[in-house]
A and B are shown apart, each in its own frame.
Chain A
Amino acid sequence: MTIYLVVPLLLVVAVLQTSLVPHFALWGVFVDLPILFVGSWGLLAGSREGLLWGFIAGVTTDALSGAPFGAATFALMAVGFLAGLGEANVSRAQFALPLVTIFLATVLYDLVFLLIVRISGQPVVWLESLLRIVLPSAALNTVLAPLIYGPMRLLHNRFIREEMEF
C-alpha cells in the first residue's frame, strides 16, 4: 500500500486513540488501536511492512503522548516486525493466529513501552502494571482483534503483492 495512504490512515488512528477510544474503557483499560492495526498488517504483509507501519504509527502516537518520544515507536516497530514473522502461517491458521498474535503483541508493546519509560528515568510499577493494565489490555485487544483484522485482510487482498512505495 502506498505510503500516502498509510500516513493519513495511521494519523487518524492516533487521533481516535487520544480522543474517542478512552471514553470506551472496559476492565479499566481501553483498546489499543495502533497495536491492532500494526499487528494485523504485519501479520498479513510481513516483517518489513510491519516495521514501517510500526514506525509511522509510533511517531504519530508518540507525538500525541506524554511518554518519552520513542517509547511507542520502538514498541510498535517491535510489534510490526515480530507479527510479520507469522506471515507464512497466516493462511493455514486463519482464526487462531491473529488472536494469539494480537495478545502477544499487546504484552510485547506494553513491556517495551514500560522499559523505555524506565530507561528514560521515570518510575515504573512493574507487577501492578502487568496485572492491572497489561493483561486486561491484552485480553481486550484480543477480543476486539477480529473487528480490525477482518477489514485489514480485505485491504491487504486489494493491495496484495504491492509493497509500500516511498
Chain B
Amino acid sequence: MTRERLRNLLPILLVVLTFTGLVLHSTGQLQPLEGLLVRVTKPLQELLSGATGQLGELAQTARDLRDLRQRNEELESENARLLLDNVRLREIQAEAALLRDLLNLKQDSPGYEVRGARVIGRVIGQDPSNLQRFVILDVGREAGLAPNMPVTTDRGLVGRVREVGAGWSRVLLIIDTKSSVNALTQSTRANGLVEGQPDGSLVMRNIPQGDVVSVGDTVFTSGLGGNFPRQLLIGQITGVERKDFELYQTATVQPTVDFDHLEVVLIITDFEPIEGTEDTDSGDGQP
C-alpha cells in the first residue's frame, strides 16, 4: 500500500479505531491500556495537584486574614449559643442512651458504619470535561478498593467509586448529572432522590406532596436501595418548590462537601452494596 493511499484512508482508519475502542471499553478489555496511561501520567498529575494546592493555600491565607476579624466576632456569638446547645444535647444524649438500653436495641450510630475498613485517598485529578464530575484518586485495587464503594469526607458524602485500577480509581461525584442518591431529611424524615445538576448543584426530587420539607433542614442518605450506607450527610435544603398539581415536591440542596477543593477522601471499604440493585450510572436508582 502506498504512503499516499494510507493517508487517504486515515480518516476511515481513525473512526474505525475509535469505534473499536468504544466497544472494547464497554466490555472492559480496554482497561489495561487506560490504566497504563493513568499510571504514566500519575506522577505529573500528583506534582501539579500538589503545586496548585500550595498556591491555592497562599491565596486563601491572604483572603482569610481579611475576613478573620469579622469572622471572630461571629464565632464568639455563635460559641455562646453552641455552649447552650451543647448542654441541651448532652441531656438528650443521656436520655437517648437510657431509652436505647431499655429497649435493648442495637442501633448503629452513623459513625459506626464508616468506622470499619477505610482507605484514605488523595485527589490527584479531575475530569477533563466541564460536562462530567469525576475525580481521580491515588489509591486503587492494591488498597482494597472495588467499584461502587462509597466515598466520603468528614463533611459528608462525596460519591462512589466507578472504576478501579491497580494504583488509581475514578470516583463519580454526587453532583454529576448521572448520580442519584436516595435521601431523607433529618427533622421530618421526608424521602426523596438527590440528583446532581449540570452546574454542580444538588436537587432533591420525588418528595411526596404530603411530606413537610423546610429550608435549613439537613439531608442524609436513607440507605434505601442498598447502595449507600444510611445517615451519611449530603447537604442542607436551601429552597423548596411545591406545586399543588404535581405529585412530588422538589428541593434545592446545598452540599456540605466543597467539591471545588477536594483533597483527601475516605473510601468505605467494608460496605457491601446489595447485589442486583447496582446501577452504575444512577447511584441509588429509583426509590
Contacts and interface: CB of A to CB of B under 8 A. Distances in A.
B130 A51 contact: no
Interface in B11-61: 11, 14-15, 17-19, 21-22, 24-26, 30, 33-34, 37-38, 40-41, 44-45, 48-49, 52, 56
B34 A55 contact: no
Given A18-B125, A64-B38, A110-B131, A69 B21 contact: yes
A58 interface: yes
Contacts of B281: 121-123
Contacts of B38: 63-64
A69 to B, nearest CB: 3
A113 interface: yes
B1 to A, nearest CB: 13
A48 B124 contact: no
A67 to B, nearest CB: 5
B130 A55 contact: no
B21 A117 contact: no
Interface string B108-135: 0000000000000000111111111010
A25 B22 CA distance: 30
B91 interface: no
B130 A11 contact: no
A137 interface: yes
B144 interface: no
Interface stretch (A73-81, A85-93, A94-102, A146-154): A73-81
A95 to B, nearest CB: 26
Contact of A67 (B11, B129, B197): B129
B48 A20 contact: yes
A129 interface: yes
A123 to B, nearest CB: 6
Interface stretch (B170-178, B226-234, B241-249): B170-178
Contacts of A124: 177
Contact of B37 (A32, A63, A129): A63
A160 interface: no
Nearest to B11: A51
B21 A20 contact: no
A51 to B, nearest CB: 6
B105 to A, nearest CB: 39
Contacts of A122: 178, 281
Interface string A13-48: 011111111110100111010100000000000001
Contacts of B125: 15, 18-19, 64
Interface string B171-199: 01000011000000000000000000111
A36 to B, nearest CB: 13
B37 A22 contact: no
Interface in B57-83: none
B134 A128 contact: no
A55 B14 contact: yes
Contacts of A77: 14-15, 18
Contacts of B163: 66
B48 A132 contact: no
8 contacts: A14-B41, A22-B127, A51-B14, A67-B129, A74-B18, A123-B177, A129-B198, A133-B131
The list of the 8 closest CB pairs from A to B, nearest first, reads: A69-B25, A66-B134, A70-B22, A18-B125, A63-B37, A19-B48, A17-B128, A22-B126
Interface of B: 7, 10-11, 14-15, 17-19, 21-22, 24-26, 30, 33-34, 37-38, 40-41, 44-45, 48-49, 52, 56, 124-132, 134, 136, 162-163, 170, 172, 177-178, 197-200, 260, 281-282
Interface of A: 11-12, 14-23, 25, 28-30, 32, 34, 48, 51-52, 55, 58-70, 72-74, 77, 81, 110, 113-114, 117, 120-125, 128-129, 132-133, 137, 163
